[in-house]
Amino acid sequence: MLFKKLPLSGAYLIFPEPRRDERGIFCRIFCAQEFAARSLETHFVQANTSTNMRAGTVRGMHFQQRPYGEVKVVRCIRGAVFDVIIDVRKKSSTFGKFYSAELTDENAAALYVPIGFAHGYQALTDGATVQYMVSAFYAPEYEDGIHHSDTSVGIPWPLPIAEVSSKDAKLPFLGQSRGFDDGE
């Protein structure tokens, strides 16, 4: 696997190194040794899948507060998504900054989302399916998020927004959010 450090501290894009032969393609999408060598999370307690019926659907921007802060490793396994993370760690020098990447079933790239980052994506294709590993169990009472259209963050969603849940539509803007409780 190839790990590309991103400009937001602790975040990575991870690319598989496919091996091709007459049968097709084989590649690793997770290796605890390679993650540990970079001091990345290696213990995941859930694997989730999300399918989006319509291109333009936005899910996010979600995170969980301590003690259920979670690392996510996100991959698109069908179609394509515009994947976004926002640094919501209050003490971070990149607080409020975002990073985006196109994840597709063809590029097989994964986004490593550290604790303290809001995460979300927009489906770029009908039926886009995202699979992700999570390091903490879902705890609804610690659930938090940032509104997907917060102009102070300025995420340039590539498609008109077709769908968003009523719950996500009620998320606060960054300025009204308590951010991630980074322990201080």
Q: What are the residue numbers of the active site?
A: 62, 132
* Cβ atoms < 10 Å from Cβ of 54: 13
